[in-house]
Amino acid sequence: MISHEVLERALNLAQDAEVFHVASRETPAVFEANRLKLMETRETAGVALRIIKDGRIGFASTTNLEDLGKLVDAAAEVAPFGAEARLEFPSGRRYPPVDVYDPEVERFSMAEMVHLGQSLIEALRAHHTDVQCDAHVSKGVSTITLLNSRGGSVSYTRSVFGVHLEGTLVRGTDMLFVGDGQSSCHPVTDTALILESVEQQLDLARTVAPPISGSLPVIFTPHGVAGVLIGPLLAAFNGRTVLQGASPLVGRLGQRIADQRFSLWDDPTIPYVPGSGMADDEGVPTRRKALIDHGVAATFLYDLQTAAQAGTVSTGNASRSLASTPSPGASVLVIDEGDVSYEDMVKDVKEGIIVERLLGAGQGNVLAGDFNANVLLGYRVSDGKIAGRVKDTMVSGNVYEVLNNLVAIGNKARWLGGGFRTPALYSAGVSVSAKK
Amino acid sequence: KKRILDEYVATMLTVPGVQTCTIGYGDSRRKTVFASSEGAYTEQEQVHVILRLAAMARQDGEVQQAGVSLGSSGDFSIVTSLHSQAREMGQRAVDLLRAPKVKGGEYTVVLDPILAGVFIHEAFGHLSEADFVYENDHLRDLMRMGRHFGGRHLNVVDGAAIPGLRGSYKYDDEGTPATRTYLIREGELVGRLHSRETAAKMGESPTGNARAIGHTFPPIVRMTNTIIEPGNATFEGLIGDTKEGVYARNWYGGMTSMEMFTFSAGEAFMIRNGKIAELLRPVMLTGNLFTTLENLDGIAGDLDMNQGGGCGKGGQSPLPVSNGSPHIRIQRCLVGGT
């Protein structure tokens, strides 16, 4: 077995070692301009090695599984320049049972995938003949194996199935982009929700509303929440950022940083969600934890190295790609539902906007929690009614201000992508600037 | 390499108020072999160097950062004498803690060459990639040749045949020779960027812009080196004519959705009565492509290239590209702040 061989070789010249082996196979079906454009299968396999040699961490990775000696030598060559090793590889082999594999995903045929995508496009275009559709239906399976010199060992397989639909409507120089999707460890066969969401976006955006500027109430739909909040919050809760003193939340654990109705969890134990798993990418067993518990900053996210540096234990949040060393990251984020319906939120707004999709939200001072973005898809609300699409409009603000000025939290959460579940959030007073 | 970077870390940390810093350095050597059943066979080797320096300052729970991104196609000297720049980054991060936010709204903006390069890449470059228009009749009509996009002073070109830059190569990833393609000449649309597929579909010639980030990805239409050509104005003149505006420099990021684009500046200053005035918090600028190019009313002669970025498209990111421009001025640009 490759992992064992690498480990053995590594231990010839290092005191400790960890082998991360990933093999994956993905089959996307890509639809462009309302029809199937291409299908392909992509297979990749690779090994990453971390060694602790003379108290320092060496790292190397490769997709060339024929020359493992080179991998080991590369890790050894880099080790003298590496970080001082504060971590200890986990030795346990007990993991919570978290199901993330459904063999039906592999059995789902290419013909069925094509049919799924084509039907979805045709269903949208049946009532919207001027919308041009792109879509993506993909299935994939990956197997991860982790082995280390302390006796730690874990291996699991994950299946992922995703369906995504995008529509483009061009009228003169006006461009409207709508879209939605679903991702799961099970095959996604019921696309009704995707269709409904995209049709609703088309209906609401049909007319362009007059511009509005000012400090206004803003309703962030689940997509809007993802666009605005997640980047800054994850940067602030990242254990490494905290250690560097660059997080605005340094020293604030246990303090109120948001409205007391607001809770944010990282829960990689939810079954059949693509971001879940029984172990993190260092083999530490996963668990559910609150980042923000009823408004109070509860936990930062750590991997082994940053936890040791911070004098605490890993929260099971090590995240890595093949070619990078692990670093703290969220797995599956969940914002607790509140008790106000989206419809009631809209009715409550005298003059304000709804934010669905943003352009450029992650480009500002993310660490400080600032966001500054163009509202790519958003609607104007006047006297409690949606009055058309806003254009040439920017929203600017700070996520901590938004979370401390919440008017209401939606009562219906939904999944976005493979790892974020949230309701809508209704905030008072966000800065909106529009071109006159 | 590590020793030089350690020096920069030490330099940044000597600035009072700097909390921490991050430096990312990478170099790569890539050999690409291409063969086709039509008889084409090419072997090319490319070397890339990239460096990002960023300093973070914090005070009373507030955090600001300042950084710079540089790159080259193999020239290591861009990395070696950045001590004063490192110190500047540290100082700027600290200064930003005290800087006010810009009041959001429409402004006359003057962009430095680096930020203007990002602007043209996001605002126009992506729309010139033929795979965004070749299947969509409406977009093809919007992007018809001869269409007026800006003033007669505006000339925009893209090409891998421009040598020595991060987007330079001799043959693209379909074996097509690189070119230098005018996209806008004297304000009119005269060209676009093609792969063999988009060229065939649109009845135009391939331009050597089909690129794949790696062998597991299909080549798609990508930019290479994208440039606004120098004009007759001067930087001093562009600022001097502006009663109230924003001078923005040093890119931080950029994105486009075809009609709308955004790009964010690492550094911004108010312009008041023809002079550069107070430092502002980093700003985001956004606009509608079609009106913004019309509002581009001044192009200086001081062309400079931004080689510190990578472009993302279709899951293939970061692809080495360069973009550049002289200082430019845009009227009525929407600037985000509070």
> How high is the pLDDT of residue A409?
98
* Across A310-333, average pLDDT: 97
pLDDT surpassing 60 at residue B338 = no
Q: B12, B141, B262, B281: which to substitute to probe chain A, counting the most A Cβ within 10 Å? A: B262
pLDDT band at A363 (very low <50, low <70, confident <90, very high): confident
User: pLDDT tens digits for B28-40?
Assistant: 999 999 999 999 9
Q: Identify the DSSP state of B12.
A: H
Instruction: Provide the token pair at A138.
Output: 């993909």
Half-sphere exposure of B333 (CA within 13 A, CB side): 33
Global pTM reads 0.93
Instruction: Provide the token pair at B156.
Output: 């925009």
> How high is the pLDDT of residue A362?
80
User: How close A253 comes to chain B (CA, Å)?
Assistant: 13
> How high is the pLDDT of residue B168?
96
* Across A188-197, average pLDDT: 96
For residues A326 and A328, what is the distance between their CA atoms, to the nearest angstrom? 7
User: How close A389 comes to chain B (CA, Å)?
Assistant: 14
pLDDT band at A305 (very low <50, low <70, confident <90, very high): very high
Residues in chain B with CB shorter than 8 Å from the CB of A44 are: 216
What is this model's ipTM? 0.88
User: pLDDT tens digits for B220-230?
Assistant: 999 999 999 99
CA distances from A327 to A314, B151, B313 (A): 11, 49, 25
> How high is the pLDDT of residue A352?
97
Chain B residue with the nearest C-alpha to that of A169: B138
Q: B63, B96, B106: which to substitute to probe chain A, counting the most A Cβ within 10 Å? A: B63
Other CB atoms within 10 A of residue B38 CB: 6
Helices (H), chain B: 2-14, 77-80, 83-98, 113-120, 137-142, 196-202, 235-240, 289-294
User: pLDDT tens digits for B188-230?
Assistant: 999 999 999 999 999 999 999 999 999 889 999 999 999 999 9
Higher-pLDDT residue of B43, A364: B43
> How high is the pLDDT of residue B140?
92
User: pLDDT tens digits for B284-320?
Assistant: 999 888 899 999 999 999 999 999 889 999 889 999 9
> How high is the pLDDT of residue B70?
94
Considering chain A, what percentage of its residues have pLDDT values greater than 90?
92
Q: How many CB pairs under 8 A join A and B?
A: 137
CA distances from A200 to A179, A190, A337, A388, A423 (A): 10, 17, 22, 12, 17
